[in-house]
Amino acid sequence: MTERRAFAALISILMVITGSLNTICAKWADSLKPPGESVNFNHPFLQATCMFFGEFLCLVAFFIIYMIKRYRWNRSKLSGEGIGSLDEKPSLPQFNPLVFLPPALCDIIATSLMYIGLNLTTASSFQMLRGAVIIFTGLLSVGMLGYRFQPFKWIGMFFVMMGLVVVGVTDIIYENSSTNDTNGMITGNLLIITAQIIVAIQMVYEQKFLNQYNVPALFAVGLEGLFGMMILSVLMFPMYFIHVPNTFSTNPQGRLEDVFFALKEIRECPTIAVALVGTIISIAFFNFAGVSVTKELSATTRMVLDSVRTLIIWVVSIPFFGETFIPLQILGFALLILGMFIYNDILVGPFTRRHLIPRMSENNPMTSCCFHCCGLDTTEIDRQMLINEDEEEV
C-alpha cells in the first residue's frame, strides 16, 4: 500500500512538472532569437511535429512494456509456474489502426493552431484559454454521444466561460508591452479557442472508440503521434511554398513554414534545440504520467493536477517571459478553477451532498431546486443521510 501511494505521488508530481515544462519549453523556443537575426524563432508546425514525435515515444514505451510482459509470460510457462495476472497470454488489441487517423488529423490542426496562437499571445493566457475545451467537449458529448448532463455540469461550464471572458478581456485591455500588437494577441487568443473546438471533437471521438475497441490509452496516444508526425512531415514541403501575412509567419518571404531557415536558426542558436528536445521529452512523460494518474487515481485528480499546472505556468511566465502581472487575471483563473471543480464534481458537489443536502427538507420549495441541481432524488437524499448517521456512530 505504501509503495502504491508513493507511486501515485510520484506520477502526480511528474505530470505537473512535465506538463508545465511542455508549455514553458514551447514558449521558450518562441522567445529565442539567433545572433544577427531580427525576429524570434517562429516555427509552429515544426514545434507541432516535435510534439507528435514525443507522443510517438509513447508507442515505443507501449511496445517495450508489451514485450516485457510477453517475455515474463513465456518464461513462466517454460518453468511451469503461474504468475497471477499474466496467466493469460498478453496480446495486442484487435482493431484497425486507421481508426485513430481522424483524431490524429484533428490533433494536427488543433496543435498547429495552438502553437501559432502561442506565438501571438502569452504562455499564461495560452494555458488558461485551453480550459475552453471543457465547454466544447460537454456540448459535443450531449450532441454526438447523447449524454445527459446534470445541471451542476452546466453551472461548471458557465463559470469556465466567465473565466475565459475575463482572461480574454484582460489580454485586450492590458496588452503585453513586449508585443505591442493588440490585433495579433486577439488573433492568437481566438486561434487557441478555435483549437479547443477541434480538440473537443478529437476527445469525443477518442472516447467512443477507446471504449468500443478497448484500446490502451498509451497505445492510442502513440498511434496518433505516429500519424501526426508522418503527415506533418510531408505537409511541411508544400508549406514552404505557401506565403502568408507577417502576423502568422516571420520567416523570410513570409513562408508558412520554412524548415531550412529553422535549421539555420537552430545551428546559430543551439539553445533552440534544447527547448525543442525539452518539448519532445516533456510531452512523452506528460502523456505517460497522465494515463497513469487516470488509471491509478482518477480522471478528476488529473483535472486538479492540470489546474496546478496552469498556475505554475502563469507564475513562471511573469519573470522568465516578461509577462505583465495583471491582478484581474487572478479573477479569471479563479473562475476557471471553480468551473473545472464544479464540472468534475470536486469539492463543491461532495460538500453539498455530504453537509447541506441532508439538512434540507424536500417539502421546502426553497430547497427543491437544490435537489434538482445536484441530481438527487428523495431516495438518494435518504441514503446520504443514513451514510452520515453511520459515520457519526462510528
Q: Check pLDDT > 80 for residue 291.
A: no
Mean pLDDT confidence for 150-163: 84
Can you read off the three cell numbers belonging to residue 182? 493588440
Mean pLDDT of the chain: 80
**pLDDT tens digit sequence for 184-196:** 788 888 999 999 8
DSSP 3-state of 255:
strand
The position carrying cell 478497448 is 214
Q: Check pLDDT > 80 for residue 147.
A: no
| Percent of residues, the chain, with pLDDT higher than 70 | 80
Q: Check pLDDT > 80 for residue 313.
A: yes
Q: Check pLDDT > 50 for residue 178.
A: no
The pLDDT assigned to 373 comes to 54
The pLDDT assigned to 388 comes to 43
The pLDDT assigned to 393 comes to 38
The pLDDT assigned to 237 comes to 92
CA distances from 299 to 1, 292, 303 (A): 21, 10, 6
Helix, strand, coil share of the chain (percent; to 5): 80, 0, 20
| Bridge partners for 255 per DSSP | 243
Q: Check pLDDT > 60 for residue 319.
A: yes
At 179, the pLDDT band (50, 70, 90 cuts) reads very low
Mean pLDDT confidence for 301-311: 73
**pLDDT tens digit sequence for 263-288:** 999 999 999 999 999 999 999 998 88
CB 153 within 8 Å of CB 199: no
The position carrying cell 522567445 is 31
Give the orientation angle of helix 2-31 with respect to helix 271-296, to 10 degrees.
150
Q: Check pLDDT > 60 for residue 299.
A: no
Residue of higher predicted confidence among 24 and 166: 24
The pLDDT assigned to 270 comes to 94
Of 100, 92, 90, 68, the C-alpha closest to 222 is 100
Can you read off the three cell numbers belonging to residue 74? 513465456
Which of 99-103, 285-289, 298-302 has the least mean pLDDT?
Answer: 298-302
Of 297, 305, 298, 295, the C-alpha closest to 65 is 295
Which of 41-50, 95-104, 169-178 has the least mean pLDDT?
Answer: 169-178
Q: How far apart are CA 185 and CA 188, in angstroms?
A: 5
**pLDDT tens digit sequence for 327-373:** 887 888 888 888 878 877 776 667 666 666 666 655 555 555 555 55
Residue of higher predicted confidence among 207 and 53: 53
Q: How far apart are CA 139 and CA 200, in angstroms?
A: 9
The pLDDT assigned to 26 comes to 92
Residue of higher predicted confidence among 384 and 203: 203
Q: Check pLDDT > 70 for residue 391.
A: no
Mean pLDDT confidence for 284-302: 75
Phi, then psi, of 243 in degrees rounded to 5: -105, 135
The pLDDT assigned to 24 comes to 92
At 234, the pLDDT band (50, 70, 90 cuts) reads very high
Mean pLDDT confidence for 64-69: 90
The position carrying cell 501526426 is 228
The answer for residues whose C-beta is within 8 angstroms of residue 367's C-beta and 6 or more apart is: 360, 361
The pLDDT assigned to 378 comes to 45
Please state whether the predicted TM-score (pTM) of the whole model is above 0.75: yes
At 181, the pLDDT band (50, 70, 90 cuts) reads low
Q: How far apart are the first and last CA of the chain?
A: 24
Domain ranges of the chain: 2-346, 347-394
Q: Check pLDDT > 70 for residue 84.
A: no
Sign of CA dihedral 188, 193, 198, 203: positive
**pLDDT tens digit sequence for 14-65:** 988 998 999 999 999 999 998 888 888 999 999 999 999 999 999 999 999 8
